[in-house]
Chains A and B, each alone.
Chain A
């Protein structure tokens, strides 16, 4: 077993105002249109409770038969400016990652700059324990990843 930390930031610019961009996160009708369960997925369940202490659930089974679950909880909401939430991702009931995420919407000229920053912890116990071989495979794969990073750096 191991944990991989993974941080990243995505920045986007939109033509709309920060208040309008913020509404796409707060308004369930708008949020579902860009964050709802994809068309063609089954066992779909999507709920949004946009307030501190509330959360979002997005569950669906992809066409390949795997069940994806996104479960979040809002920790801080500053209307029109900032959203802080934490979320779990599960695949077929197994916890894959836990992330802390901040979304900032800032005025940028006559539009908006969105800054999405995530700090994630990813867990390696994706495989059935019976399929995992004494950590040997892990060690070697980790080495391959390390060698790859050395060259990429």
Chain B
């Protein structure tokens, strides 16, 4: 008898055993999207997209919520996703530090090019 975990894995792998649904997961791995944004690159009707979305939601991979008239979809966050977000932020934080470093250098050591763009 499959455990709860095994059943969830079965649903997840079933959900991913389809090229269109994989494309939807890949799109969502870059950030939340509306149903029409998910459908845009796919060559299929909106009802078909909704059916695929339903499979993804039942697998637990994707969650959606209605915001006004628009349904927003996102990957279900987990520990790994938190880490991915952290890594993406990490470099951006250093970039911001170096922006500030540039300002500090211009202030502390003005050059004759200081006012030139």
A148–B30 contact, CB under 8 A? yes
Q: Which of A14, A114, A137, A151 contacts B78 (CB 8 A)?
A: A137
B90–A97 contact, CB under 8 A? yes
Q: Is B73 an interface residue (CB 8 A)?
A: no
Flag the segment in A15-23, A40-48, A74-82 that touches B: A15-23
Q: Is A60 an interface residue (CB 8 A)?
A: no
Q: Which of A103-144 contact B (CB under 8 A)?
A: 114, 116, 118, 120, 122-127, 131-134, 136-144
B32 contacts across to A, CB distance below 8 A: none
A4 contacts across to B, CB distance below 8 A: 83, 87
Q: Is B37 an interface residue (CB 8 A)?
A: no
Given contacts A12-B98, A142-B80, whether A6 and B109 have CB atoms under 8 Å apart is no
The DSSP consensus for interface residues of chain B is helix
* Closest chain A CB from B18 CB (angstroms): 12
Q: How far is the CA of A8 from the CA of B80 in the complex (A)?
A: 20
A14 contacts across to B, CB distance below 8 A: 101-102, 105
Interface residue tally for chain A (C-beta within 8 Å): 48
Q: Is A100 an interface residue (CB 8 A)?
A: no
Q: Is B26 an interface residue (CB 8 A)?
A: yes
Interface residues in chain B, defined as those with a beta carbon under 8 Å from any beta carbon in chain A: 5, 8-9, 12, 16, 22, 25-26, 28-30, 60-61, 75-76, 78-84, 86-87, 90-91, 94-95, 97-98, 100-106, 108-109, 111, 113-114
Interface residues in chain A, defined as those with a beta carbon under 8 Å from any beta carbon in chain B: 2, 4, 6, 8, 10, 12, 14-17, 20-21, 23-24, 30, 33-35, 96-97, 114, 116, 118, 120, 122-127, 131-134, 136-145, 147-148, 150-151
Task: Give 8 closest A-B pairs by Cβ, nearest first.
Answer: A141-B80, A137-B78, A148-B29, A34-B100, A34-B101, A141-B78, A20-B109, A15-B111
